[in-house]
Structure 1
């Protein structure tokens, strides 16, 4: 047998062996190969090790070795309970996904929980010690688990930016050393290919932060790979983009790094440790479209792509795209990130038909940015003739949008750069789920053109924007799909003592999307537990007659309602504890700010005291305020929802009581309802009403989501706003309906409490009922035609249909 035939026999034998092993495309380099060529979700490599997953366990070898071994002897993450203490966790059943880069290894188990370990002694913590704890702040649930936004991802990858890559270069060519810690960032490409969610160990353990994909959020990616925080994407037609971006380089971490939007020449090079302290240029680099791979003959490209760091600086990245050449040979197309041409490297790569790109698919999704219009508010008063707009808002963690304001004759426009603030609480999908994304904002415009304006318009524009071009984070903002609000100064108002009221900063641009007039204060997204309030597992049919054969069904509904009530109470208790932590953290930074100010430490940059004292207080005040508001919302809403649940349980239990009294059948109270709005409608409480005879033109209106909160807003033309929250209203109305009372003979009387931050001096003079209103007990009287609201014994409002 000659050499050719021997080689052929071994090749055929290898095919049968591989077939028996059922290699899938994520094992693109093969079963326990001599070298891992491509970083996938089951095979990865870095400077220190090659890794692969075999039947749920991690095998590893050094690049110079041939023999594969179970990583750290077990192939599974485990905690050294006798030494770690703070991070003890049960050994997972299986490892499902893996990513290695730099000196770090990140793996997810079969339940989607993340475990990490370092691979070199130069890393920030001891190497070869598994950790489950992830994110900041640490806590009982301080670990990362894939959620509804990431578990069906198209791809994910981890990038480590530390000593091996050493430095990064900003958009003006200035190099910045990684510092002492560096970071690892995890990037997820979502199921639709249109979103990149990311997190790192210094952020809360969630996937709430997002990076906008190329083409203003419209590029559909088939796959993603990352290394040294450079992301590599590929679309169905083979279009490719790369970008170096993480929470720090995009400018979101001013507590620890200096940033600038000006082009400043930096003298220190990236190998110099102190270059880390020089200002990082913003905005972060944009997406770079990579040269197309020229395909000939039998050549095809796949969605199996890989990027790997191979030296120092931004240019030290190797890109690989698995596929076939013009003759149909397998391998990968390869080039350095800034090279202009690709070359094909023939290798034994295992690809399935579904791995190849389908060029008939679209690479462009629908419009992904939002526009808003609104008004300028000065000291709580709306300037009706000053209209403003905001266009091109992505609601991602970094943004770039166009702002305009006009008085009808003159127009000022500028570019705004919003950057997401570091936030303390875990979140789901801020900006898109009813909760806002909070931003620092910097403006860019031609300062000299301010001289072209005149009159009141010039005075206001000067006061807001003069000397603010590239003035770092001179503005703050928050936004959702429904609204975007921009505050003109970075000093926050006093923390809210009560919800549904606030003191505005002097200037505010308040804008909403077209067709949206009111912004709901409460939603099932802001308070996600509310979505279960009307779950069919909790509900019986109103007015239906039940028999003793259905006793178990009724009891199960009672039990589910009791569990739900306990869940609401437990959630309240947890947030109260978190709020205490947030308060203590905030005080800690306030003390630091005070100490650094009186000792002049805030004037120096080493070791980053100035950044911490400049932005730390604002960030932590934002977080404390967020917690304060979240806890207040929960208290207000949950207590009222629990009121409805208690009524539900009480009436369901009456059915069981009838059965205990030997009744064969029992009818559920036909007047029982499942929301405050339903109760209000049953007695025809007006949704809106005006007090026509009042000098100050008082109007009331039901709260915009009265299903969960029984409340009215009272407003006057002088700017007074009072929230009127009804107490025990569901129970009172149910009793009224059960007794079949007549409105004229016995009006409905409901107790109320008042919430108000400020009362207009004019309103106080005209109606003494406004005096100290928040400290008074109130009532609402309704006789079917006339609604009367009393603050104490004084009439606050009286209107007739």
Structure 2
């Protein structure tokens, strides 16, 4: 977010000196590296690799799936053992070498994830540390504890939920170039990068993300499939494409991040109006939804992985650990392919074996629906919004008058904040970028509705398909600004 304009400005603000006490990290490491700056050091060399000591622990010949103990990008494979990190070329050349870490991190790393040119590591307290230039030569690698507003200068953040099921994602202009919205229009990845830590809640039904340019909190969420009720066993994300699987082997993928969602209206233009064929298209909303992936015809575990394979938002490969005819390895396919192929590795299965079934069992384990229901009255019209959830982008807005009912859609997307917000809905007002959608069938037959309903659609909404509006919500109230309509929780 804000990256196109502010990445260059960051160069004039950040120095490679420890942060001031006001920006102190929540953990023991006080590190200030180059993460968040423009990448000014080109190169594809391995300079500095030979200076690292050969690994003396047992490590696999290759990392096949991105996880929190082994991970890879286009250039490097990384592994974690007992708090220490190791590296080798992703091409398979050479052996593993022991990475040189900051003294305060050595022996204290509990999880790692790399995507593009940034690697994230956690310590025992769940504190986030970022290693920059992860696509470049080892001599360029450096670390920072900085994380959060303003401009990746915040005092540090932690992984949401203290989750062990987390992943690092980077969408970049250098590697990805563009991403495609639901209207089929390609948009530049931006002047810098979009970087998020995504984390899965204990019950697997909530995905929270923390962006290094957003407030130091755990308030931003991406809905899981089925209106946030799908319960995932595992999560992997690369280049803003998330991949989830449940206990029955049902899998979904989704392209989503803060910018794609429609949250940054200061630096991007969005529209719910159809942008297909537009000369200068805005980013089409709503953001791409979850896409169901075909089931795997064999045994699988909850070790899943996604990684980028080239430019464009379809250039992704999915991998799932499993077995075929007694051989251990992984199943894989490109994001849009219809069939999976199996690759044996000769390595034992590490994940938990799932009850993979040919039938779709996505709804067999659903989290409870959201308990937030709101009702208000505007003249003769009663409005109702049920099961509102902060991460669900579209919620029915029911208008009733004279025994008749119109179902509209209230679109909501978290807005841009620079101060902390409590997770979920609380007494603290939470602002959303909203839009009210009126079905075309309602507009075509408006004269058949009760006069109060007709007047609301014609006078307040100007008989438009979409009307943008601010929406403010607490755990007890909802206000839809354009309708001048306060609703109370019921």
Superposition TM-score tier, normalisation by shorter sequence: 0.7 to 0.9
Q: Which has the larger radius of gyration?
A: 1
- CA–CA distance in 1 between the matches of 2:184 and 2:154? 41
- CA–CA distance in 2 between the matches of 1:173 and 1:255? 23
Contact 2:401 2:450 in 1 (8 A): no
Provide the residue aligned with 2:97 in structure 1. Answer: 69
Provide the residue aligned with 1:440 in structure 2. Answer: 433
- CA–CA distance in 2 between the matches of 1:259 and 1:196? 23
Q: What secondary structure is seen at the aligned counterpart in 1 of 2:66?
A: coil
Provide the residue aligned with 1:102 in structure 2. Answer: 116
- CA–CA distance in 2 between the matches of 1:374 and 1:427? 24
1:168 shift after superposition: 0.8
Contact 1:236 1:363 in 2 (8 A): no
1:120 shift after superposition: 5.9
- The reply to whether residue 477 of structure 1 matches residue 471 of structure 2 is yes
- CA–CA distance in 2 between the matches of 1:511 and 1:429? 21
- The reply to whether residue 319 of structure 1 matches residue 318 of structure 2 is yes
Q: What secondary structure is seen at the aligned counterpart in 2 of 1:142?
A: coil
Larger relative contact order (Cα-Cα within 8 Å, sequence gap ≥ 6): 2
Provide the residue aligned with 1:364 in structure 2. Answer: 365
RMSD (CA atoms): 2.8
- The reply to whether residue 47 of structure 1 matches residue 74 of structure 2 is yes
Over 3 Å counting, the alpha-carbon distance change for 1:344 and 1:91 in structure 2 is: closer
More helix by share: 1
- The reply to whether residue 390 of structure 1 matches residue 392 of structure 2 is no
Contact 1:46 1:101 in 2 (8 A): yes
Over 3 Å counting, the alpha-carbon distance change for 1:294 and 1:356 in structure 2 is: same
Provide the residue aligned with 2:284 in structure 1. Answer: 281
**Larger deviation, residues 195-204 vs 30-39:** 30-39
Q: What secondary structure is seen at the aligned counterpart in 1 of 2:110?
A: strand
What's the CA shift string for 1:463-486, capped at 9, x where partnerless?
Answer: 211154224xx2111224433221
- The reply to whether residue 188 of structure 1 matches residue 183 of structure 2 is no
Q: How does 1:286-297 map to 2 (within 5 A)?
A: 286-295=289-298
- The reply to whether residue 419 of structure 1 matches residue 413 of structure 2 is yes
Contact 1:372 1:511 in 2 (8 A): no
- CA–CA distance in 2 between the matches of 1:209 and 1:333? 32
Over 3 Å counting, the alpha-carbon distance change for 1:164 and 1:184 in structure 2 is: same
- CA–CA distance in 2 between the matches of 1:184 and 1:439? 22
Q: What secondary structure is seen at the aligned counterpart in 2 of 1:249?
A: helix
Over 3 Å counting, the alpha-carbon distance change for 1:221 and 1:154 in structure 2 is: farther
Over 3 Å counting, the alpha-carbon distance change for 1:122 and 1:182 in structure 2 is: farther
Provide the residue aligned with 1:214 in structure 2. Answer: 225
- CA–CA distance in 1 between the matches of 2:77 and 2:185? 33
What's the CA shift string for 1:535-588, capped at 9, x where partnerless?
Answer: xxxxxxxxxxxxxxxxxxxxxxxxxxxxxxxxxxxxxxxxxxxxxxxxxxxxxx
What's the CA shift string for 1:391-430, capped at 9, x where partnerless?
Answer: 342222x520111223325544311111111122223313
- CA–CA distance in 2 between the matches of 1:241 and 1:444? 27
More strand by share: 2
Provide the residue aligned with 1:402 in structure 2. Answer: 396
- The reply to whether residue 428 of structure 1 matches residue 422 of structure 2 is yes
> Normalising by the residue count of structure 1, what TM-score does the alignment of the two structures yield?
0.50
1:228 shift after superposition: 0.7
Provide the residue aligned with 1:501 in structure 2. Answer: none
Which of 217, 241, 247 is residue 236 of structure 1 equivalent to? 247
Provide the residue aligned with 2:86 in structure 1. Answer: 59
> Normalising by the residue count of structure 2, what TM-score does the alignment of the two structures yield?
0.80
Over 3 Å counting, the alpha-carbon distance change for 1:31 and 1:279 in structure 2 is: farther
Contact 1:183 1:201 in 2 (8 A): no
Q: How does 1:613-692 map to 2 (within 5 A)?
A: none
- CA–CA distance in 1 between the matches of 2:153 and 2:177? 34
1:214 shift after superposition: 0.8
Contact 1:372 1:484 in 2 (8 A): no
- CA–CA distance in 1 between the matches of 2:403 and 2:254? 42
- CA–CA distance in 2 between the matches of 1:220 and 1:454? 41
Aligned residues: 424
Q: What secondary structure is seen at the aligned counterpart in 1 of 2:458?
A: helix
- CA–CA distance in 2 between the matches of 1:237 and 1:121? 36
Q: How does 1:733-744 map to 2 (within 5 A)?
A: none
- The reply to whether residue 486 of structure 1 matches residue 462 of structure 2 is no
Contact 1:59 1:70 in 2 (8 A): yes
Over 3 Å counting, the alpha-carbon distance change for 1:39 and 1:338 in structure 2 is: same
- CA–CA distance in 1 between the matches of 2:220 and 2:149? 14
Provide the residue aligned with 2:166 in structure 1. Answer: 156
Contact 1:392 1:400 in 2 (8 A): no
- CA–CA distance in 2 between the matches of 1:48 and 1:322? 22
What's the CA shift string for 1:360-387, capped at 9, x where partnerless?
Answer: 998522332346342235xxxxx3x321
1:121 shift after superposition: 8.0
1:448 shift after superposition: 4.2
- CA–CA distance in 2 between the matches of 1:323 and 1:454? 59
1:453 shift after superposition: 4.8
What's the CA shift string for 1:178-201, capped at 9, x where partnerless?
Answer: 121121111101111111011212
1:264 shift after superposition: 2.0
Contact 1:154 1:222 in 2 (8 A): no
Over 3 Å counting, the alpha-carbon distance change for 1:223 and 1:475 in structure 2 is: same
Over 3 Å counting, the alpha-carbon distance change for 1:42 and 1:428 in structure 2 is: farther
Provide the residue aligned with 1:132 in structure 2. Answer: 145
Q: What secondary structure is seen at the aligned counterpart in 2 of 1:211?
A: strand
